[in-house]
Amino acid sequence: MRSLVDGYLSHIMDECHSDRSGHVADYIPELAAVDPEGYGLSLCVHDGHTYSQGDSATSFTIQSVSKPLTYAMILKKHGTAAVDAKIGVEPSGEAFNEISVDDRRRPKNPMINAGAIFAASMLLPPTRDVDDAAVDAAFREVLEFYSGCAGRHLVMDEEVYASEAATGSRNRAIAYMLDSFGALETSPDAALDLYYRQCSIRVTTDDLAGIGATIGNGGMNPRTGRTVFSNETAQRLLSVMTTCGMYDGAGDWVTSVGLPAKSGVGGGILAVLPGQLGIGVYSPRLDAHGNSVRGVDVCRHLSTDLGLHMFNVTRESRVTIRSVYDLADTPVSAEWGEQERSYLRTCRDRIRVYELQGDLTFAGAESVQRRLEADLDDYTVVIVEISRIGVIDAVARTMVLSIKRLLDDSGRRAALVDPDGVVRSSVDRHRNDAAVPDLDAPPELQGFDPALPHVHSTMDDAVIDAETFLLKHYYDQ
C-alpha cells in the first residue's frame, strides 16, 4: 500500500523543485564543488519511523546545523547557569558570521558563529596550552554525541575540514576578538579547530530528521530508545532554535513556518515539531540569509499543507486509535438470504473496525494510516469509526478519505462511519481551500467521489457496505 505521507512529501518536493535561485556556499572551496541540484527530504515521526524522498541518502556536511548539538553538550557539561553567564540567548538580528556580542561582551546567542565558537571552547580544557590530543579527545566526544542524536555512527569530511581551516579568516577574527575580551578560557586556535571539525561532520536528511525527532522527544532518540540529553536541555534548544536558528530571517520563519529550526551553509535544514516529528531537508543553493532556498520553501509547504505550525492550536492526543476489533462475534445483517448469510458468517473476522478519538491532524492521521498498512493482512474490509473525533483538519480529512483509494488498489474496501457529519462538513467547508484542496492533491490522495458514498452515518450502514463487498468478491469467484 503506497503511503499517503510519501505521496504528500513527493508532491511537496515537486512543487518546490523548479526554484533554482540562490547560490552554493562558494566561499568555502569544497562546498563550491557540490552538485547544486542535490535535493532530499526526510520526516521522522515520534516513534522513529522515517519517510524519505529524493536524495535522502546523499551525505553533506552539517555546518551550522551542528550548533544546537554543541550547545546541548555544554548545557549538559556545565549547566544552564554557567552557560548563560558566557553566551546569551537573544536574537542578533544580524548575519550568522557577524562579529556580534552584547553589552557584557558575550556572544548574543549560540546559533551565530561567535556563540558557536565560544560553545566549542567550553568543551576544551580551561587552559591556554591545549595540545592536539586534547582537541582530538574533545572531538571524539562531539562525534559520539552527534552520532547518539542521529542514531548511527557519523564521520568527519577531512577535505571540507581542511578547506574551512584554510579559508576561515572571518571566523579566526571572531575567535581572536573573543579572546581579546578575555572571554575565552582556552586557546582560540584550539576552539576554532574544534568548531571546524564539528561543522565538517557528514549527515543525510534521514540523520537530520532523526536528530530533530530526538530534540522533539525531549532528548530521547526514537530510533534507538537511548536518552542523549535531558528534557530541560531539549526545551532550551527548541526555544533558542525558534528565536535564533534561522539568523536574521528568524522572524519571517517563525510567522510563516512556525517550527524550531536550524540551517547550515551546506544546504541542510533541521526542523522540529515538538512531541511529534523531526524534518531534514537538503538543497545546497542558499538565499541571502545563508538558508537553503528550496529547503525553506519545502518547510513552508510542510507547515501550511500539513498543518505543522507549532502555534496551530489543537486538543489532539497521540492516542488517536481508541480500539480495534473485528466482527466475528456479531450477527449478520438480516436483509441477506440464507446462502449469503451462511457465507458471511465464515468471513466476519475479515471486517475490522478502528475507532478513532480526539482532534485529528496530520500526525494522528499518519499514525492511523501506518497502523492500517501494518495490519493489511488481517482484514478485507476496514471500517473507520470517527464518532469521537471533535475536529478534523484539511490534510487529515484528505488522508482519511484517501484510505479508500489505497485499499481499492489492494483489492480491499474502506468505509467511514461519520454520524455527526464531521468529514462531510469539513469537505463542504474546505471545498475551495487553497491550502489542501482535495481535487488538487497528489494523485495518490485523489480517487474518492465528492459525494462520499463510502461515508456512512451509522455503523449498520457501514456493515452492510462491508458485507456487500464481501459478497461481490464471493460471487466474482
Report for 203-212, 247-256, 411-420: range of highest mean pLDDT:
203-212
Strands laid side by side in the 60-61 sheet: 60-61, 201-203, 155-156
Rounded to an integer, what distance in angstroms lies between the CA atom of residue 250 and that of residue 248? 6
Residue 14 has pLDDT above 70, yes or no: yes
Span 287-338, pLDDT tens digits: 988 899 999 999 999 998 888 888 876 545 455 899 999 999 999 998 899 9
Q: How confident is the model at residue 93 (pLDDT cuts 50, 70, 90)?
A: low
Which pLDDT tens digit goes with each residue over 198-221?
A: 999 999 999 999 999 999 999 999
Domain with CATH 3.30.750.24 in the chain: 321-476
Least confident of 15-19, 243-247, 279-283, 335-339: 243-247
For residue 380, give the DSSP letter: S
Exposure pattern of 169-199 as b/e (b: 16+ CB <10 Å)? eebeebbebbbeeebbebbbebbbbbbbbbb
CA pseudo-torsion sign 296, 298, 301, 305: negative
Q: Is the pLDDT of residue 434 over 50?
A: no
Superfamily of domain 4-306: DD-peptidase/beta-lactamase superfamily (3.40.710.10)
Residues 68-78, mean pLDDT to the nearest whole number: 98
CA distances 326 to 160, 331, 384, Å, are: 57, 12, 12
The per-residue pLDDT for 450 is 60
The predicted structure's pLDDT at residue 104: 81
**Beta bridge mates, 52:** 42
Q: Which fold has domain 321-476?
A: Transcription Regulator spoIIAA (3.30.750)
Section 25-52 average pLDDT: 94
Q: Which residues pair with 446 in a beta bridge?
A: none
Model pLDDT, residue 380: 96
User: CB of 472 within 8 A of CB of 466?
Assistant: no
Residues with Cβ < 8 Å from 35, sequence gap 6 or more?
284
pLDDT band at 368 (very low <50, low <70, confident <90, very high): very high
Q: How many CB atoms lie within 10 A of CB 81?
A: 7
The CA distance from 74 to 49, in Å, is 29
3-class SS shares of the chain: helix, strand, coil, % to 5 = 45, 15, 35
Output b/e per residue, 361-381; b: 16+ Cβ within 10 A.
bbbbbbbbbbebeeeeeebbb
Range list for CATH 3.40.710.10 in the chain: 4-306
Kindly report the average pLDDT of the chain as a whole number.
89
Average pLDDT over residues 172-177: 94
Unique residue bearing C-alpha cell 591556554? 128
pTM (two decimals): 0.89
